[in-house]
Amino acid sequence: MEHQREAAHDDEVYQFSTIGALLDGVYDGDVTVADILRHGDFGLGTFNHLDGEMVILDGVCYRLRSDGTATRAASTDRSPFAAVTRFRTDFDIHICNTAGRSEVLGAIDRQIESVNLIYAIRISGRFRELHTRTVMEQHQPYPPLTEATEGQAETRFSDVSGVLVGFRTPQFQQGISVAGYHLHFLNSERTGGGHVLDFTLDEGVVAVSGASQLHLSLPTSGAFLDARLAGDDVSEQIDKAEGAR
């Protein structure tokens, strides 16, 4: 029975809080890195006060700071938002010729089973160019996310090896998650990275892990309880905050 329960969660994404809460300035959470890692070995998120982007890769959590550097996060570090899964490859795509962001993501779109499911995306390889950003640490009173991202620090990597970590999420999850592609970069040395704005991949491998279950864990205290989580302009705000092109 224990094996059956574990197997049932192999295709689950476990998410703490919502992107909508971040949009409204809910930047403090009680969940720790140790709590997050109990639910998966692959994912992304952010840290309290928006002090760094989060990458979870092979069961290790990294903090990507606004200066473009990356360090291993402490198990006691806390997060207001994170999404994690147990990555197992359903299919992969080998990229042998130079391809831009739209070409690589288009290749994924052509092979996924349905746009209504969730997919964890891992893109490993050599990048000719890679453009990232990281929001700087915020201080109370917290501004909305669209204002916080106006002061983001951007980094451009050239001829760098590493991995993109993230998810492709259905459109109907917009506001709960980031609909479409949401990717963070971590270099091979695990010393640098950030939230991905654009990239050109010289060669690499795209691994895709599908999920049909979403476990949403909502905060039961703090600013989340009074946050304004609905609005007609949610998609517009997310696009602005995420740097969508």
Return the pLDDT at 6.
Answer: 40
Q: What is the mean pLDDT of residues 185-198?
A: 97
Q: How far apart are CA 69 and CA 63, in angstroms?
A: 8
Helix residue ranges per DSSP H, the chain: 2-8, 19-23, 33-37, 101-111, 145-148, 234-242
Return the pLDDT at 1.
Answer: 31
With a cut of 50, say whether residue 4 has pLDDT above it: no
Q: What percent of the chain has pLDDT over 90?
A: 84
Return the pLDDT at 116.
Answer: 97
With a cut of 80, say whether residue 10 has pLDDT above it: no
- At 232, the pLDDT band (50, 70, 90 cuts) reads low
Contacts of 37 (CB under 8 A, 6+ apart): 56, 59, 61, 75, 84
Return the pLDDT at 7.
Answer: 42
With a cut of 60, say whether residue 245 has pLDDT above it: no
Domain covering 12-242: architecture: 2-Layer Sandwich (3.30)
Summarised one tens digit per residue, pLDDT across range 55-85 is: 999 999 999 998 889 999 999 999 999 999 9
With a cut of 60, say whether residue 194 has pLDDT above it: yes
- At 228, the pLDDT band (50, 70, 90 cuts) reads confident
Tokens at 35, concatenated: 């709590």
Q: What is the mean pLDDT of residues 208-216?
A: 97
CA 152 to chain centre: 16
- For residues 152 and 66, the answer to whether their CB atoms sit within 8 Å is yes
